[in-house]
Structures are given as structure tokens and as C-alpha cells.
Amino acid sequence: MTKRITLRRPDDWHLHVRDGAVLEAILPFTAQNFERAIIMPNLTPPIVRHQDASSYKARIKSVATAVGQPNFDPLMTLYLTETSDPQNIREGFEGGIITAAKLYPAGATTNSDAGVQDIEKIYPVLETLQELGMPLLVHGEVVDSAIDIFDREAVFIERTLIKLVERFPDLPIVFEHITSAEGVDFVASASKKVAATITPHHLVINRNAMLVGGMRPHYYCLPVAKRESHRAALVNAAVSGSPKFFLGTDSAPHTIDTKESACGCAGIFNVPVALSVLAHIFEAAGALDKLEAFCSVNGAVFYGLKLNKGSLTLVKSDTPVRFNDRVRTTNGEIRVFDPMFDLYWSLEE
Ligand code: NCD
Ligand code: ZN
């Protein structure tokens, strides 16, 4: 008998859709699977003012409409800099243009150079976010050459996050794409104002995927995958049903030539297989009944948004389902995340 699971339509609480030709090529995969997505603002130049967010949103909506998904709802974010204007953020939030603000420590990841070096410089902005109840989305890694890359998330908690949460106790904070047991523990024991997104790939790979038997750039992303015990902690958190953990794919497309390079870009493009991979992981953990909370409920509740009305059905085939391993764009091809095991779940036609 075919196994099926019907979920309330999912949302993606952390997504990079880029712009131009890449946006056109990849957005259909998101719009087909997700009702809403939190759109990351790390374009070049970054989306800093609500006016930039508004025109970026219009470009995304026009692509969604052109591919027959006019109801897809991009939730826009602003990229915080040390000169961000609290008044502009307030206008954007109160005008319904933006949903959240993203904190990139300067130099932590792709297009983060304009980010924040000294967090105290953005305290006035954080006061405004707290007053508005507007979520702060945090890329939680320290930028310090003395700190090993595999420790940067744990050290960020100690050096920055603990203080931030104490100083702004009513500020909703999403610790984005957590990759460590320390991240899980911090969020689980923090107040209700603190939640975390978890990516499909960090539920699947540990750092061996990147480094054993050859250097595999398509498993390189930031924060970098950690050792196996951390992956196991992330799976436990995701399948726990705790409202503090929800899906953010962090799907981050880069063309193959920029990944397979002497200095390859960080980012994994996973949206075409994201729900299939998640169903696999949740089923293996005996927790398919928690998949809907993770993909379709917890995030919306944390953001104070309505739950989606529609639904989506995944079916399990007896034989492996073949997904395309790449997407073509006029800028070059983009590799789709390969979990290195067969996938059986797919969207019902
Ligand atoms: C993201 C990107 O390429 O924009 N890369 C990544 O490895 N996740 C940036 C980010 O979210 O850190
Ligand atoms: Zn990201």
C-alpha cells in the first residue's frame, strides 16, 4: 500500500532566492512546495531599506506570477548595518513591507561584509525591534581568526547571544540554521522569545560529507556541518515537536563553477528535495507525525502569523524517486543537494 502524508502547506523560514536569472530559475521549486518564505537580504548590494525590500518583493512576486504561483508570499527582511535607520525599519514593519531584520556579523558568510562588527552600534535598532515585536534573525557565528571554524557557533553563544538575550529579553530572536548541540541546548533552555531554524542538509550530513574521500564543495555551507554527535542533536530537536524549532532550508544557490573553485562559495541548494529529505529523516526517526509541526506550524506561530489553509500530500514510492541533480540558469548550472541516500518520498502529482 502506498504510504501518504498530508501536511498543512509548509513555509520556509530562511531562504536565499537571489535575483535576475537565478531567481527565475529557482523560485518555481519554492513556490510549488511552500506558501511563504522568509527571504534573505544578502544581495549585492544588500537590502537595507524598506524601499529596497519593496522593489525586491515586486520582482519575486512577478516571477512567482509568471510561473503560475501568484499566491506565493515572500516575507521580506532587512540586512542590518551599523548605520541602519530605526525609523526606516519601523516604517517598513508598520507598513507591512518587512517581517524581520537579519544580523550578519561582518565577514561571517556570503555577502556579509556590510554587516555588523560591533553589536552595540545597533542597540538603538534592537530597541526598536523589541518595541515592535519584530523578529531579529541571527547568523550566529563569531568572526575571529583565533577561533576554529567548527567552534564559531558555540563561541558566538558565549560571547554574544547570552548577552543579547539578557539585554533584550522581549526581543523575538531566531538563531538561524543552528548546527551544533550547543545551539540546540541554548535555544531549548532560553525563553519563549528565542527559537531556531534547522536546515534539511544539517539533518543529513556531518563534516565527513565534505572532507572524506576527497573535498566535496557541494557539501560546504556556513555554518559548516559539524561532527556526527551534533547532527544527531539537531535531528532530536527537529523531531521533538518543540515549538522552538522549525524549518529554514537556507537553500543558497551558487553556480557550479563558483562552488568547484580554489575558493568555493558557501551554500547548498536544497529546495527541490527538501520535503522529500525531511520526510525521510522524520520517518527514520519514527516521527512522521511531527513533520507538520516542523514544516508548517511552529514557524508561523513564532512569527505570530496565521497558519496556512491549504495542504500538500507527500507519497512514498516503492522504488527510489529520481530528482534532477541540477538546475540550468543563463548564468550557469546549479547543483541540487544530494543526501547520498535514495529518496522515496515526493510530492503527489
Ligand atoms: C548563504 C549564501 O550563500 O547566501 N550561504 C550559506 O552557506 N548558507 C549565506 C548564509 O546564510 O550564511
Ligand atoms: Zn542563509
- The more confident residue out of 234 and 109 is 234
Domain 4-347 has CATH 3.20.20.140: yes
pLDDT (mean) for 323-334: 97
Best substitution site from 16, 19, 141 to test ligand 1's pocket, by max atoms within 8 Å of Cβ?
A: 16
Dihedral class, residue 177 (left if φ above 0, else alpha if ψ from -120 to 50, else beta): left
Q: Which residue has the least CA distance to atom 11 on ligand 1?
A: 250
Percent of the chain with pLDDT over 70: 99
Cβ 109 under 6 angstroms from ligand 1? yes
**Domains of the chain: which residue ranges?**
4-347
Ligand 1 within 6 A of CB of 266: yes
Mean pLDDT (the chain) is 97
Q: For residue 167, give Cα distances in angstroms to 91, 114, 126, 163, 170.
A: 24, 24, 10, 6, 9
Question: What confidence tens digit (pLDDT) does each residue in 175-196 have?
Answer: 999 999 999 999 999 999 999 9
- Average pLDDT on 59-79 reads 98
With bands split at pLDDT 50, 70 and 90, how would you rate the model's confidence at 320?
very high
pLDDT of residue 2: 59
Ligand 1 pocket member 42 (CB < 6 A): yes
Encode pLDDT of 225-256 as tens digits.
999 999 999 999 999 999 999 999 999 999 99
With cut-offs at 50, 70 and 90, classify the pLDDT of residue 110: confident
Q: Which long-range contacts (CB under 8 A, 24 or more apart) does 66-73 make?
A: 66/24, 67/27, 67/28, 67/31, 69/28, 69/31, 69/32, 71/35, 72/27, 72/30, 72/31, 72/34, 72/35, 72/36, 72/37, 73/35, 73/36, 73/37
Shortest-distance atom of ligand 1 to CA 266: 7
Residue 1 has pLDDT above 60, yes or no: no
Decide: 221 in ligand 1 pocket, CB within 6 A: yes
- What residues sit around ligand 2, an ion, with C-beta below 5 angstroms? 250
pTM of the model: 0.98
Within 8 A by CB and 6+ apart from 52, the residues are 41
Is the pLDDT assigned to residue 67 strictly greater than 80?
yes
pLDDT tier for residue 341 given thresholds of 50, 70 and 90: very high
For the cut 60, the answer to whether the pLDDT of residue 198 exceeds it is yes
pLDDT above 90: percentage of residues in the chain: 99
CA distance 101 to 124: 13
